[in-house]
Structure 1
Amino acid sequence: MGLFDLTLGPILMGSMMNVLLLGVMIMQSYIYFERYKNDKTWLKAVVCLLLVLDSLSAAFAMDMTYNYLVTNFANLEAIQITNLGITPYPLLTGITAFVVQNFFAWRIRLLTGNKFLAYSVCALSTVQLLASIGTMIGGIIVKYFIDLEKVKQVSLIWLLGSVVTDAIITVTLVWYLRAHRTGFASTDHLTGRIIRMTVQTGLLTTTCALGVVIAYLVSTNTTMHLAFGLPLSKLYTNSLMSSLNARKAWNPAGYTAEISGSRTGINSQFTHGRVYSAGNGFVAHVSRPTTHTLYPLPSLDSLTNLVVTFSTEPKPGRRRPDSG
């Protein structure tokens, strides 16, 4: 193993993944703004904020990598000291996690009606944000990588706070979805897809944050934790964006007819007995011959204006559902 493999290697790998995931975030943002032009202004502002945070994070990571690998190439003293590029990393990651986690807390509050659970997520997210600020300040004070051991406690509060918050969000949403299975094959298939997406995106951020914790504890004299830590903020933003952009797939039949409802569900009359997903994240549970009920699924659309759309006319080329 080379002299700098465990010092510069993790920085290079983490920065590469950081920039790669920024490209994914840019692509997802483009898809979002093209596909969901009617979303609420505040939701678009959240996406813009996350894109700015990701861009800043990538810029600082590139500056850090250039400083160590080019400007101070073979400078043994320089590579042992934190620089301007790495200093904001905890803060930017903490802010990004705070925004995404509070968004999902709002989602939990809207779906389950459980204020205590939603506020608990917000409180834990605030703790990890404050700890990330403390970690950044500690990094400025100690300067040398080898002395980061002195800020281990606050760093662990930051990282473990993120892990616990992500786990609560994932478990809550999966529990809610499983508890609201209906017995209708089409609806339960859609619910299963959303559960899988929720678990996959939640596991990404949780696993990566755990990787940072383990690397930080096991290898305190290296920068191994940065291989996991530098891309972490991008995993948060991409998990949220993948959920936002998946909404269109929840309405593959493209059915439209105006129906208004509340968060607890509504009943209305229909003319046939198939089951479809609505564009704003609701599912029509249609029981023959004429009644259907709408229940909220974890849409990341604006659920404050609970107007959903269906149509009894299939898309061109689709056979009309059998009403008999």
Structure 2
Amino acid sequence: MNSFKRASDFNVSLVIGPIQVCGLLSAALFGCLACQSYLYFARFRSDHLALKASVSAVILIQLGHFVCVISMLWTMTVSTYGDPSQLTVLPLAADLAISLSGLTVFIVQSFYAFRLWRLTGNIFLPILCQVLSLIAQTSTFVVTARAISMTDLAGFGNNQMLLIELSFVARAACDLIITAGIAWSLKKKRDSGIGGTVTMIDRLIKWTIETGLVTSLMALTLATWFPNLKQLPSGFFSWIGLWLLWPDVVGNSLLASLNRRLLFRDRVSRSDTQTFALNTIVLSAGATQSPADPSENFKDRDLLV
């Protein structure tokens, strides 16, 4: 494992390159999140206050995460220019970004665990998912606290490997359980013989799997990649770059899931029978649309997809 004791040990493409590329991608994803947030608050004004508070928290946390990414890029490309030895520890902004990314994922996973409970009526799996998410979040906070006081990046990666692995494995397990639970419950609704809703349920299952697999695969990639890093800190910064993208993907998946309800407006308003059937499938949270919404009487859409 390397440190940047000498300038000859410093490889710009392996250290600054991944952070710069992933930082720019993170900025693009944050822009997508901002657009989706505007759409959500403009079109779903009557959603439950708790749901709007969760979305607001994700946006504000990701704004802080974005500021940390910009600060990290400034430190690595400007403040430490000509002195690579300063990059043997993570910039403070990177430590804060680690903590903020965990908070975003924790809020989103809590939302999906609640969705699973409302759909299945079974409390065991949601509690299991919440416990896994809490374990991961606690591990993240511990890693963050230790990262702030680190003196050597290479040694830190070795010493904290167990906690880092625990965090990402728990996150991935939580995502997979939630995805499988929701998809299986929707499949049972599909097989129950409710008329006129098979196509919609198939679409819900597809969207559920797509959303859950993207986030869980990213967590699994981070978990399996970290122990296989051969060189630190060069390899570590490549891994950190992917970590910077992860919470943006998770936040966008949440907003995409909520905004997809717009696609059901026309379909739901076409038939009272179809509306009644869908009311037996989707999750109840007591939200309604604005008076301009033709499907105002169609309840329980805040957890639809």
**TM-score of the pair, normalised by structure 2:** 0.84
- Confirm or deny: 8 A CA contact 2:72 2:94 kept in the other structure: yes
Counterpart residue type for residue 87 of structure 1: D
Looking at secondary structure, tell me which structure has more helix per residue.
2
Shift of 1:13: 2.0
- Gaps spanning 5+ residues in structure 1: where? 257-271, 279-283, 286-292, 311-324
User: Of 285, 296, 299, which aligns to 1:303?
Assistant: 285
Question: Which position in structure 2 is the counterpart of 1:171?
Answer: 180
* SS of match in other structure, 1:180: helix
- Confirm or deny: 8 A CA contact 1:105 1:121 kept in the other structure: yes
Matches within 5 A, 1:172-251: 172-181=181-190, 182-183=192-193, 186-219=196-229, 221=232, 222=235, 223-251=237-265
Higher Rg of the two aligned structures: 1
* SS of match in other structure, 1:22: helix
C-alpha separation in 1, matches of 2:215 and 2:268: 32
Task: Report how many aligned residue pairs link the two structures.
Answer: 277
- Gaps spanning 5+ residues in structure 2: where? 1-9, 290-295, 299-305
Counterpart residue type for residue 303 of structure 1: A
Shift of 1:183: 4.6
- Confirm or deny: 8 A CA contact 2:113 2:129 kept in the other structure: yes
* SS of match in other structure, 2:280: strand
Taking only aligned residues, the RMSD between alpha carbons, in angstroms, comes to 2.2
C-alpha separation in 2, matches of 1:43 and 1:253: 24
Say if 2:31 is the partner of 1:10.
no
* SS of match in other structure, 1:55: helix
Shift of 1:226: 1.4
C-alpha separation in 2, matches of 1:133 and 1:184: 46
- Confirm or deny: 8 A CA contact 1:216 1:224 kept in the other structure: no
Counterpart residue type for residue 213 of structure 2: L
- Confirm or deny: 8 A CA contact 1:95 1:129 kept in the other structure: yes
Q: Kindly, what percent of the aligned residue pairs are identical?
A: 24
Counterpart residue type for residue 230 of structure 1: L
Question: Which position in structure 1 is the counterpart of 2:154?
Answer: 146
Question: Which position in structure 2 is the counterpart of 1:261?
Answer: none
Matches within 5 A, 1:97-176: 97-147=105-155, 148-176=157-185
* More displaced 10-residue stretch of structure 1: 34-43 or 22-31: 34-43
Which structure has more RCO (C-alpha within 8 Å, separation ≥ 6)? 2
Looking at secondary structure, tell me which structure has more strand per residue.
1
C-alpha separation in 1, matches of 2:86 and 2:180: 44
Question: Which position in structure 1 is the counterpart of 2:3?
Answer: none
Counterpart residue type for residue 164 of structure 1: A
- Confirm or deny: 8 A CA contact 1:25 1:234 kept in the other structure: yes
Shift of 1:305: 5.9
Deviations 1:238-270 (A, max 9, x none): 1111111011212324528xxxxxxxxxxxxxx
Say if 2:32 is the partner of 1:24.
yes
* SS of match in other structure, 1:39: coil
Shift of 1:185: 7.0
- Distance 1:185-1:304 versus aligned 2 partners, 3 A rule: closer
Say if 2:60 is the partner of 1:52.
yes
* More displaced 10-residue stretch of structure 1: 117-126 or 184-193: 184-193
